[in-house]
Structure 1
Amino acid sequence: MLASKVVCQKRSGAVLQRVAHRRAWINRRIHGAAFAAILVLAACSTKPLIPYSADTPPLALVEVSQAGVQDKRARFREIYCAVLEARGPALPDYRPCEDALTRVGAEPAGTGAPVDLAQSGRHLIAAVVPGIGYDCFKPWLNHPNTVAQHLRRYGYDAIMLDVDGLSGSANNARQIRDAVMAMQEPMGAARLVLIGYSKGAADILEAVVAYPEIRSRVAAVVSAAGAVGGSPLANDAEQYEADMLRHFPGAACHSGDGGAVESLRPTTRRAWMAKNPLPRDLKYYSLVTFPQPERISTILKSSYEKLSRIDARNDSQVIFYDQVVPDSVLMGYVNADHWALAVPVARTHTTIASLFVTQNAYPREALTEAILRFVEEDIASPEM
């Protein structure tokens, strides 16, 4: 243990030396404390990521079919590939379909059914709940809402639901409830697709359990790189480290109830899932980030390697099996790291992207369209 600690310290020193000459211009773009928070959260540690504890529900790691999960990756691939082919290089960060998705195990054969790329008949709305600290760095990110602009061309739409980036999931579930109930009640079938990114998935699951009044307004729930089972990285983090995100340039976020990190700990998430069966009157979908190792951005490699002490099949923040909602439909495995899926740093901060967030480019507009087209088709099927 002592030897590994020395190695860790040497690695940390080497990393700090390499970035020292870049800190001057970084401080002009990211306040020093905020950048320090990134380094702290990604730092190496000799502590076990999953400490010994008997205070846990009984667990079993099983194949998705044994967890009540329906494997519909083949159909999602058909839809996503059709969207990418039709929209092509006109969309930002275009990738061929084979590079956009990861094939994991024996993926089922495609259905061969045609893909309807016409105007949406249901006019679904993607209501995205972001991850930890998003309201802190949102002003700095300063990206145009190109996903919503793209979706509106085809009869869909997208909105962001504001939640406290540094609060726990119970607090944010109430905020989701209030936001949904403040919307005009739909005429006819529900149109709202709640998409939870990272911690946002846990916030949404708590909302649909705690507030049954919102369910009639929700067409479906999607976990996108969701921390459904939490992240072992949260076991080695403290809330004060996340709280440093308040020092991002232009950040107007506050500490909230201080429960964000606790909400991401695996024991917290699994205990909550064990005590709170998900309502059966909603349909759930899981979109998992499963990047090839070379698709991990430079700044995320340390957290990827740290999490790899448990399982190398992670996106730098969450292990692939911890992203799946029980009894959901498995849509696919995305070849992107955790940030690339939903945080478009590279589009507005090209210098930082070229040095640190090196694998951030991903066709999010096409992906979101494919998600909504898949959900629209799937919820219309007789099995629902």
Structure 2
Amino acid sequence: MQFTRQVIAFLNARCWIGVWLATSCVFLGACATKPLIPYSADTPPMVLVPASQAGVMDKRGRFREIYCAVLEAHHAELPDYRPCEQALTWVGAEPAGSGKPVELGQSRRHLIAAIVPGIGYDCFKPWLNPPETVAAHLRQFGFDATLIDVDALSSATNNARQIRAAIMAIPAPEGAPRLVLFGYSKGAPDMLEALVAYPEIKSRVAAVVSAAGAIGGSPLANDAEQYQADLLRYVPGATCTSGDGGAVESLRPAIRKMWLAQHPLPGDLHYYSIVTFPQPEHISSILKSSYDKLARVDSRNDSQVIFYDQVVPGSTLLAYVNADHWALAVPIARTHPTIGALLVTKNAYPREALAEAILRFVEEDLGEPVR
């Protein structure tokens, strides 16, 4: 009987993976033959320049100090532990660290990571059954984490309204704000649209973090249509809907870059960027086809987004992370080890340590809380 249940569970997982593969192949463009960036003159003037010339502050050196300290302090109890040198990718000339000691005690600000998930998350969340270990880890040190629910398959504009409603529903704290908005994948443009469209939420936000964010969109979305993304509604146990039908369009590079050109970000907030820049051998086998397809534009991608399209203009660059797009935030191999061994082969990553390091960096960077 136990063997039978295991077989059924595996077949259900195979079914779900088949849906996800179809979505990766069709929705994300892995099987398309058209140019990933088609010819078009309908674009704002653009230029690809070094981050320092785009108003981006490079503080990778200090972040590395903090992340390495967190990893080494907690490695005995951390799942998916990696040495620091394997957890981050050296890109170009990384600035030196500050040499200051790293505070690993209790948080002074009690920051809360408010996470906006990526496209489709609400569709496969019941199957994934995430273990919530990041929040549990953070609470040991006076931090916390919560998920902001947004439509899995709706536009960034629609989801921005939901982010606004979720933030306004949280009682305003006494003193300095504690919420650190984390936008993962499509959750990052959803988050930025909320900040621009609803200025009333700014006073409740301490900082903004893009984690593998599709800030500039992804060329893989150019050949996709919404009905193809709707395949995710057939993941076993999914209850998500098509929403307003705008998720795919929201990820197209022309849409994202036009939005950035027309909507300056609020200047009174602190923005941070975590970029996934995996070594090619750290791409899961199931993601190799989309990685190769996107490599026709630039091989420095995480299987879904090119590295330079993940940086918020005017933000502080914290790290290039040696993880593919799923490994950064979606713990598939932990809850489904058979699928991890067969398909999601590079999904292991110390997410708990990374989240702690980000919040510790932000707390240090913000300085002492306003009383």
| TM-score for the superposition, normalised by structure 2 | 0.95
2:156 aligned residue: 169
Cα deviation, 1:274-310, whole Å, max 9, x if unaligned, reads 0000001111000000000000000000100000001
Quote the Cα distance in structure 2 between the aligned partners of 1:356 and 1:288. 23
Letter of the 1:37 partner, please give it: T
Change beyond 3 A, Cα 1:234–1:35: closer
Q: 1:37 aligns with which of 23, 28, 35?
A: 23
- What RMSD in Å do the two structures reach over aligned CA positions? 1.7
Q: Tell whether the 8 Å contact from 1:291 to 1:334 is kept in structure 2 after alignment.
A: yes
2:302 aligned residue: 315
Change beyond 3 A, Cα 1:103–1:61: same
1:301 aligns with 2:295: no
Q: 1:92 aligns with which of 58, 67, 79?
A: 79
Query: 5 Å matches for 1:1-384?
Result: 25-27=10-12, 29-31=14-16, 33=19, 35-41=21-27, 43-380=30-367
Q: Tell whether the 8 Å contact from 2:24 to 2:290 is kept in structure 1 after alignment.
A: no
Q: Tell whether the 8 Å contact from 1:129 to 1:201 is kept in structure 2 after alignment.
A: yes
Change beyond 3 A, Cα 1:33–1:104: closer
Quote the Cα distance in structure 2 between the aligned partners of 1:280 and 1:28. 45
Q: CA deviation at 1:229?
A: 0.3
Quote the Cα distance in structure 1 between the aligned partners of 2:349 and 2:9. 29
Quote the Cα distance in structure 1 between the aligned partners of 2:218 and 2:22. 21
Q: CA deviation at 1:29?
A: 4.8
Change beyond 3 A, Cα 1:187–1:28: closer
Letter of the 1:373 partner, please give it: R
Cα deviation, 1:285-336, whole Å, max 9, x if unaligned, reads 0000000000000000010000000100000000000000000000010000
Q: Tell whether the 8 Å contact from 1:29 to 1:249 is kept in structure 2 after alignment.
A: no
Q: Tell whether the 8 Å contact from 1:120 to 1:154 is kept in structure 2 after alignment.
A: yes
Q: Tell whether the 8 Å contact from 1:124 to 1:156 is kept in structure 2 after alignment.
A: yes
Q: Tell whether the 8 Å contact from 2:301 to 2:307 is kept in structure 1 after alignment.
A: yes
Report sequence identity in percent: 73
Quote the Cα distance in structure 1 between the aligned partners of 2:274 and 2:368. 19
Q: Tell whether the 8 Å contact from 2:291 to 2:304 is kept in structure 1 after alignment.
A: yes
SS in 1 for 2:312: coil
Could you say which structure has the higher helix fraction?
A: 1
Q: Tell whether the 8 Å contact from 1:34 to 1:247 is kept in structure 2 after alignment.
A: no
Quote the Cα distance in structure 2 between the aligned partners of 1:102 and 1:271. 30
Q: Tell whether the 8 Å contact from 2:271 to 2:312 is kept in structure 1 after alignment.
A: yes
Q: CA deviation at 1:249?
A: 1.0
Quote the Cα distance in structure 2 between the aligned partners of 1:76 and 1:34. 34
SS in 2 for 1:126: strand
Q: Tell whether the 8 Å contact from 2:276 to 2:307 is kept in structure 1 after alignment.
A: yes
Cα deviation, 1:53-104, whole Å, max 9, x if unaligned, reads 0000000000000000000000000000000000013100000000000010
Change beyond 3 A, Cα 1:156–1:381: closer
Q: Tell whether the 8 Å contact from 1:34 to 1:246 is kept in structure 2 after alignment.
A: no
Change beyond 3 A, Cα 1:189–1:307: same
Quote the Cα distance in structure 2 between the aligned partners of 1:196 and 1:67. 21
Quote the Cα distance in structure 2 between the aligned partners of 1:213 and 1:238. 34
Quote the Cα distance in structure 1 between the aligned partners of 2:189 and 2:72. 33
Change beyond 3 A, Cα 1:327–1:33: closer
Q: Tell whether the 8 Å contact from 2:27 to 2:221 is kept in structure 1 after alignment.
A: no
Change beyond 3 A, Cα 1:374–1:201: same
Q: How many residues were matched structurally?
A: 361
Letter of the 2:121 partner, please give it: Y
SS in 1 for 2:327: helix
SS in 2 for 1:186: coil
Cα deviation, 1:156-189, whole Å, max 9, x if unaligned, reads 0000000001000000000000000000101000
Quote the Cα distance in structure 1 between the aligned partners of 2:9 and 2:63. 45
Letter of the 2:223 partner, please give it: D
Quote the Cα distance in structure 2 between the aligned partners of 1:28 and 1:144. 17
Quote the Cα distance in structure 2 between the aligned partners of 1:379 and 1:269. 28
